[in-house]
Amino acid sequence: MRLSTTEKRNYLLGFIFIIFMVASATILNDMEIILPEIGALTAGTWIYQNGGWINQPFKIFLAPSGTAIIGFLVNKLNISYAEKVLLGLLLMLVLLRLLHSNLAPSFATGLLPIIINATHWSFIVAILFFTLILMCGVYLQGSYHQTSPSSIIQKHHMIIFTIMAIVWVGAVWFFGFSQMAAIPPVMVVFFEVLQKPQYSWQMASKHFIALVGAASIGVAVHLIFSSWLISAIISLPLVFVLLQLLKIKLPAAFAFPLLALVLPINMFHMLPITAILATTFFLGTIVLLKKYVPYQKLSKVNE
């Protein structure tokens, strides 16, 4: 895909912003400042200017911050990891429903404190700070004026998302791999495509390659370069090239290289395999669902 001058500028600003976040974490020696989904949010709002994400700029600050606080508080509960993931997802769904927001990356910001076992309030401060900057950037760009308001999350989408999450978390817990319960970038893409009337095998295949490829890039680069900053500087452009080759725009892919920087060791080495399994399960199921269960029938569920 050829980039216009404006797109090149947006990519440059977006990458600089993400690198600034990683550099801040490096200087302060605080891993909890590295927020993978800020990469996805930056791509979706500043670079791709996704209409569904930017139509109400204040929710770019409100929704991810709210879910991050939910995840942070849930993580303090004395329950199992799998239970934290499920409880967190359910509470996040309720919050997004109340906010009339479909901002999928909010799930990722909410799951992150559970995944990395965030305990310091610097995590919340970082979420508030970086989402506030993203919101201000969207207001300055002004593209949100040309977008339509987001619709409220539909009940049948909430039900399907919940059932799929329960099945996935239950399965990985049963087989003794509870660390696979939360893979934020995959959850984000799943929630996005769930709300689309159609989703083909061809697009699912491209999303699979992009997500698994981005996860593999993040792990491979970080194995070679232990530095958070150097890893981010190298891996993010590689993800950009991958998406250009696939000719798709997938903000969630930019979260994987950053996620690789903050994962515990046992999850880090399993990330590409986990991405393969989770992407196959969630995206494969939604393709089958939309193919064999007419979207119109699903939509009959009353709000």
Structural domain boundaries in the chain = 5-298
Cα separation of 110 and 180, whole Å?
16
Cα separation of 280 and 77, whole Å?
31
Over residues 240-249, mean pLDDT: 94
Q: Give the confidence band of 245 by pLDDT, cuts at 50, 70, 90.
A: very high
Q: What are the pLDDT digits (tens) for 47-67?
A: 998 888 898 899 999 999 999
More confident residue, 150 or 175: 175
Question: What tokens were used for 244?
Answer: 């250009």
Q: What is the pTM of this model?
A: 0.90
